[in-house]
Amino acid sequence: MRELATDTWILAGRHMKHIARVPEKLIGVTVAPVVMVMVFGYLFGSAMSVPGGNYREYIMAGIFTQVMFSAVGTSAAGVADDLKNGLVDRFRSLPMSRYAVLLGRTVSDMAMTALSCLVMALVGLLIGWKAHHGLVKTVAGFGLLLLLGFTMCWIGALIGLVVRSPEAVNTISSLMVLPFALLSNSFVPLDGLPRWMQIIGEWNPISSVVSACRDLWGNPSTVVSDALPAQHPLAAGTLILCCLLIVVAPMAARAYHRAAAR
């Protein structure tokens, strides 16, 4: 276990140093989230309203969740690029755990995603967003978001190992992110959708995470459904993400072992 932790720390540090040498990579995790918050907060916020609250407070949980969910593309592209440039072959010759290679990647990607979260929180405070239920519940909301981001990093790593083409993983990641992000309660209430779409949105794990964050932060919520995930979003979101992580991490490790053996 100590060797795994040491190898993971070294590899995560390597990825972070690479980002320091190519600061342009920071644009995606700093500028893009700021633009999203400003666009949704001011452009849409001036034209939309939600029952019982401010749209700027309503939308922030959705923006946080979408950025965490989009971490799947970052990790998928990074892993596919490592395979393409031969980095995995070099790692194979070293006495290290196959989990350490993937953990190093996902931990470093998670750190960048957490930076995005911090930047968005600061900008959100500037446009009027607040967390109203105290420090513990505020931290719990961000903890759930980080769990979502970490899970998406592992799913991205699995996609990158299976698809192996940096160009293809970008397309697949986009096709995966958009339906889940849009067919949820992230940006608009679900009650205006046809019933069959409402059901999909209610059972979408993204909706559970968004609703849980709104409840924890005391932000406006428009949930009127009696579906189990809608009534217990924190428990449903946490359970789904943990189950996904338990399933996907070993699958990614096996896929890495097969990729490294080629």
3-state secondary structure 218-258: CCCCCCCCCCHHHHCHHHHHHHHHHHHHHHHHHHHHHHHHH
Cβ count within 10 A of residue 50: 17
Reading the chain (262 residues) residue by residue, the pLDDT tens digits are 666 677 677 777 776 766 666 666 667 677 777 887 877 777 776 667 676 667 888 888 888 998 888 888 888 888 888 777 766 666 666 666 667 778 888 888 888 888 888 888 888 888 888 888 889 999 999 999 999 999 999 999 899 888 877 778 878 887 877 788 888 888 877 877 788 888 888 888 899 999 999 999 988 887 767 788 888 899 999 999 999 999 999 898 888 877 766 6
Residues 6+ apart with CB under 8 A from 250: none
Cα separation of 228 and 156, whole Å? 28
Contact 146, 152 (CB under 8 A): no
**Can you give the pTM of this predicted structure?**
0.88
State the pLDDT at residue 244.
93
Cα separation of 200 and 244, whole Å? 18
Q: Which residue has the tokens 């949930």?
A: 223
State the pLDDT at residue 21.
66
Cα separation of 211 and 205, whole Å? 10
State the pLDDT at residue 23.
63
State the pLDDT at residue 95.
66
Cβ count within 10 A of residue 190: 22
